[in-house]
């Protein structure tokens, strides 16, 4: 028997998010029974909100790797609740802990401020900007480089 999803109510009139054991989440509008969208939480990288035809309605776009994974028209304010839920989830793209790359080759010996350290710092910054390293991992690696 399949495990039931966990229901996360977003408040009166805002619908609910169903969290499934397979790492997906679905949004169900208030007073409806069908899923407006269902996506893998770890695939979500961002959100975009646009104003559509109705006065107090917004279109929430769920983004992943440069494309729209899903979109839904919701009441004004509901888009923020959905976005906040995803961003707080441990599987959300920006929250997934990644291990730092293991250095290859013999450790380099250089004084702080040398071109070698500057190059390593640039590489670490690129890894952080690409989402491979978290800010904490970047700071840890930076401290190790500067302590040489």
> pLDDT tens, 61-109?
999 988 999 999 999 899 999 999 999 999 998 776 655 555 555 555 5
Q: Which two tokens stand for residue 133?
A: 């390293």
6-9 and 16-19 strand pairing: antiparallel
Neighbours of 24 (CB within 10 A): 17
* Per-residue pLDDT band at 126 (split at 50, 70, 90): confident
Predicted model pTM? 0.62
Residue 31 has what pLDDT? 92
67 Cβ contact partners less than 8 Å away, ≥ 6 residues apart = none
Residue 1 vs residue 122, higher pLDDT: 122
Predicted pLDDT of residue 80: 94
Q: Which fold has domain 6-95?
A: PH-domain like (2.30.29)
CB environment 87-125: b (16+ within 10 A), e (fewer) = eebebbbeeeeeeeeeeeeeeeeeeeeeeebeebeeebe
- Domain map of the chain by residue range? 6-95, 99-148
Kindly state the percentage of the chain with pLDDT values over 90.
52
| Residue 141: per-residue pLDDT | 82
Partners of residue 26 on adjacent β-strands: 18, 38
Average pLDDT, the chain: 84
Per-position b or e across 27-50, b if 16+ CB within 10 A of its CB: bbbeeeeeebebbebbbbbebebe
């Amino acid at each position: 028997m399949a495990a039931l999803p966990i229901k996360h109510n977003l408040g009166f009139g805002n619908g609910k998010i169903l969290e499934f054991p397979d790492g997906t989440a679905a949004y169900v509008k208030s007073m409806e029974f069908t899923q407006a969208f269902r996506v893998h939480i770890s695939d979500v990288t961002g959100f975009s909100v646009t104003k559509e035809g109705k006065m107090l309605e917004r279109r929430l776009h769920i983004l992943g790797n440069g494309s729209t994974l899903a979109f839904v028209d919701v009441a004004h304010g509901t888009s923020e609740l959905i976005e906040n839920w995803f961003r707080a989830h441990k599987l959300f793209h920006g929250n997934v802990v990644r291990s730092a790359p293991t250095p290859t080759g013999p450790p380099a010996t250089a004084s702080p401020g040398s071109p070698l350290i500057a190059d390593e710092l640039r590489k670490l910054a690129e890894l952080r900007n690409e989402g491979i390293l978290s800010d904490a991992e970047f700071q840890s690696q930076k401290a190790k480089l500067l302590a040489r």
